Amino acid sequence: MKVGIPRGLLFYHYYPMWRVFLEEIGAEVIASPPTSKEILDLGTENSQDDVCLPVKIFFGHTVYLADKKVDYLFIPRIVAVEKEAYTCPKFLGLPDVIRSTLSDIPPVIDATVNVKKKDKSPLRAAIEIGRKFGVPLNTIRSAYENSCQALWEYRRLMLKGLTPDEAIDALFSGKKVEKKESGDIKIGVVGHPYNVYDRFSTLDMLGKLKNMGAEVITGEMIRQEDIEHHAEFLPKRLFWSYERDIVGSAFYLIHTKKVDGIINVVSFECGPDSLITELIQSEARRQGNFPIMVITLDEHTGEAGLLTRLEAFVDMLRMRKR
Amino acid sequence: MKVTFPHMGNLWLGLKTALQELGHEVIVPPKPSKRTLTLGSQYSPEFACLPLKINLGCFLEAIEQGADTIIMAGGVGPCRFGYYGAVQKRILEDLGYDVDFLIFDPPQGRWREFINDLKRVGNGRPLYKIFSALLFGIKKLEIMDDLEKLGHKIKAREINKGDTMHILEKTLHRLDDASSYKEIKRIKKEAIEELLSVPRKNIDPIRVAVTGEIFVVLEPFVNMEVENELGKMDVEVERTLYITDWVKEHLVPSLRGIRKHKLLEEMAKPYLGHFVGGDGQLSVASAVIYARKGFQGMVHLMPFTCMPEIIAQSILPRVSKDLSFPVLTLVFDEHTGKAGVLTRLEAFVDLLRRKREVVRV
């Protein structure tokens, strides 16, 4: 049984967990390859105009997997991952949007995770999926526990400074963890992992920054306690979990001055980003005009324009430091 | 304390009435206009949805007129609207305005703050006074809603286009001035009589449902008066949401409300199995409901970048195809032009007429 996991959206949050779980209940997991021009084109052709870039990319990965004749597509409905918040509305409707927009796709595994409800906990979702394939309860339970282990390990590796790709490599193919190089300036890159770490849609922004001699710190390299603590500075509790993490990490970097400047990566038309970017910028202004640059991604983002802006930002930070 | 609030269709009528009953000085922001939109978009985040921009424009215009306290509804997601207040407050602070925000979130265990805010709105009056003031405001809105429902039927058939509109506008202002239940009852009766005496054609109009994101549906300035324009084309409109539905759903949970909600979920389920915030699920359910009711089509309105409606928009083509029920989605932002909307509406109505003729033949 082949289960396809599209390399987009929450892939960057949970892939190791999903993979370990599915493999232990006897599935063969196939992740789509990193985003490419071909995948983006598949996505833009097959999705509605108004969805955001990451969703278009997700569509591309899904179509790619469907063409590869997997038996199932793994697109769970992640509604809430903490009691007091939801995820972005697009995750609430994602399996439905996929099913109604794409015809002729393999069946979708769309178990719901909503920790606000007792019967929709991640474990319950795991059991629901396992039962579907006739896996005994004991196996499901141990698979679930191991998958949680994998998730913690994944997060621990990212805290050490690995990108999700590097962490996944380290977890599954046992590649050695490379020591992080340091640069003369530090730049915080905050935004949704599915934007920040997609090397195609960001035109390898992280790599470009490293080449310019900057050390990059992303939200995943910041401890959750620090994020939580600094998110408390928001005027009102933010009701989107992942976005709250982004604001928390941005505030942490601004307040502690751990970096020389911040790049906020957002995608065109992103609903939550439209509000949190405003909050982050406003906080940066209030904290003595802390350097911040907002990069908006869409399917037309051009390499030259991006490079110029990155260079200007890095130069500016260097000048300030002198 | 000079109180103001954002516009959303006729909402001002109810809020103004309730707040005045409680002895507040109320500043109703000018009706949303090009200027409101320009002011609002100038200071709003670029990709914020249109309601936020219009809200902010309303506040800025009300502040010009001396308002110092803003009353606003909150929310706990996942629609962006719940966080508007917090962001707008920050924007106004950064612009150097000193205004108070009273944001009403669902209490969720924070009853003390909720009651405190309520007391401030109550202006020292006991709780039952606050409720009776609110009820009076809601009653006025209910009457306006009823009249508009009737108006939609008349509009499609009236001979002199604009008669109905004129009566409704006149009634709105009469209701605004009214101060007793007796008076508003009389106004309602008179308005119904007037509406029924509008000269009409004897036709069987095309019937179209209008649904979508509540703010865009309810605010005629924003939706380029879609309902009126459809009326001018001899189309009978049925709106899927009204202001009193919204107010009641958020203030007084009722069995009827819960049942209605269950029904909507049931209808949307084959296409959208989960709520997505805002009115997204309603939009999908409406397509199913109105197709079954024998309507000829549906117009789906949404603000640019609206998250719940983008989901609905992605799913509606499938519903439309399955039920052979034409759906036109119109997306509104600060650059939307009336001519473009009209052309699309005309083409859509033409299509519906042809389709009906073909079916009849």
- Do A21 and A44 share a domain, yes or no? yes
Task: Determine the average pLDDT of the residues in A20-45.
Answer: 96
CA–CA gap between residue A206 and residue A215 (Å, rounded)? 9
The predicted structure's pLDDT at residue B166 = 96
Does residue A198 have a pLDDT over 70?
A: yes
- Is residue A92 one of the residues assigned to a domain? yes
Confidence band of A152 (pLDDT split at 50, 70, 90): very high
Instruction: Name the more confident of B243 and A252.
Output: A252
- Do A145 and A194 share a domain, yes or no? no
List of chain A residues whose C-beta atoms are within 8 Å of the C-beta of residue B280? 89, 93
List of chain B residues whose C-beta atoms are within 8 Å of the C-beta of residue A239? 75-78, 82-83
Chains A, B: CB contacts within 8 A come to 129
- Is residue A49 one of the residues assigned to a domain? yes
**Closest CA of chain A from B133, distance in Å:** 29
Confidence band of A227 (pLDDT split at 50, 70, 90): very high
Residue that finishes a domain, picked among A172, A194, A218: A172
* Those residues with Cβ within 8 angstroms of residue B65's Cβ, 6 or more apart along the chain or in another chain: B27, B29
The predicted structure's pLDDT at residue B61 = 97
CA–CA gap between residue A31 and residue A34 (Å, rounded)? 9
- Do A13 and A157 share a domain, yes or no? yes
Task: Determine the average pLDDT of the residues in A57-68.
Answer: 96
Number of domains making up chain A: 2
The predicted structure's pLDDT at residue A178 = 67
| A92–B315 CB contact, under 8 Å | no
Confidence band of A242 (pLDDT split at 50, 70, 90): very high
CA–CA gap between residue A297 and residue A303 (Å, rounded)? 11
- Do A143 and A11 share a domain, yes or no? yes
Does residue B116 have a pLDDT over 90?
A: no
Does residue A72 have a pLDDT over 70?
A: yes
Residue that finishes a domain, picked among A172, A193, A227: A172
> What kind and span of H or E run contains B90?
helix B81-94
- Do A251 and A137 share a domain, yes or no? no
| B274–A79 CB contact, under 8 Å | yes
Question: Which pair of structure tokens corresponds to residue A63?
Answer: 């179509």
Confidence band of A173 (pLDDT split at 50, 70, 90): confident
Give the closest of A89, A110, A268 to B311, CB-based: A89
Does residue A180 have a pLDDT over 90?
A: no
- Is residue A178 one of the residues assigned to a domain? no
CA–CA gap between residue A171 and residue B181 (Å, rounded)? 71
- Is residue A157 one of the residues assigned to a domain? yes
Range of A275's domain?
185-321
Does residue A252 have a pLDDT over 80?
A: yes
- Do A167 and A57 share a domain, yes or no? yes
Among B70, B69, B96, which residue's Cα sits nearest to residue B84?
B70
The predicted structure's pLDDT at residue A146 = 97
- Do A273 and A145 share a domain, yes or no? no
- Do A71 and A201 share a domain, yes or no? no
- Do A118 and A143 share a domain, yes or no? yes
Residue that finishes a domain, picked among A118, A140, A172: A172
**Closest CA of chain B from A117, distance in Å:** 13
| A239–B76 CB contact, under 8 Å | yes
| A48–B305 CB contact, under 8 Å | no
Does residue B54 have a pLDDT over 80?
A: yes
- Do A165 and A201 share a domain, yes or no? no
Q: What CATH number is given to the structural domain containing A190?
A: 3.40.50.11900
Confidence band of B244 (pLDDT split at 50, 70, 90): confident
Does residue B120 have a pLDDT over 80?
A: yes
- Is residue A292 one of the residues assigned to a domain? yes
- Do A95 and A126 share a domain, yes or no? yes
List of chain A residues whose C-beta atoms are within 8 Å of the C-beta of residue B213? none
With 0-12 / 13-18 / 19 or more C-beta atoms within 10 angstroms meaning exposed / middle / buried, residue A288 is: exposed
| B311–A96 CB contact, under 8 Å | yes
CA–CA gap between residue B199 and residue B204 (Å, rounded)? 15
| B276–A89 CB contact, under 8 Å | yes
Task: Determine the average pLDDT of the residues in B305-313.
Answer: 94
| A239–B271 CB contact, under 8 Å | no
Instruction: Write down the ipTM of this complex.
Output: 0.91
User: A302 φ, ψ to 5°?
Assistant: -105, 145
- Is residue A117 one of the residues assigned to a domain? yes
From residue A273, alpha-carbon distances to A267, A278, B348, B360 in Å are: 8, 8, 34, 50
Name the range with the highest mean pLDDT among B105-109, B174-178, B252-256.
Answer: B174-178
* pTM of the predicted structure, to 2 decimals: 0.93
Q: Are A96 and B271 in contact (CB under 8 A)?
A: yes
- Is residue A301 one of the residues assigned to a domain? yes
Does residue A175 have a pLDDT over 90?
A: no
Task: Determine the average pLDDT of the residues in A293-322.
Answer: 93
Task: Determine the average pLDDT of the residues in B170-186.
Answer: 96
- Do A148 and A286 share a domain, yes or no? no
Does residue B169 have a pLDDT over 90?
A: yes
The predicted structure's pLDDT at residue B77 = 79
| B311–A282 CB contact, under 8 Å | no
Does residue B59 have a pLDDT over 90?
A: yes
Give the closest of B305, B307, B314 to A101, CB-based: B314
HSE-CB at B21 with a 13 A cutoff on CA atoms is 24
List of chain B residues whose C-beta atoms are within 8 Å of the C-beta of residue A51? 310, 314
Portion of chain B with pLDDT greater than 90, in percent: 78
The predicted structure's pLDDT at residue B109 = 63
CA–CA gap between residue B278 and residue B83 (Å, rounded)? 13
Q: Are B5 and B104 in contact (CB under 8 A)?
A: no
- Is residue A33 one of the residues assigned to a domain? yes
Q: Are B244 and B12 in contact (CB under 8 A)?
A: no
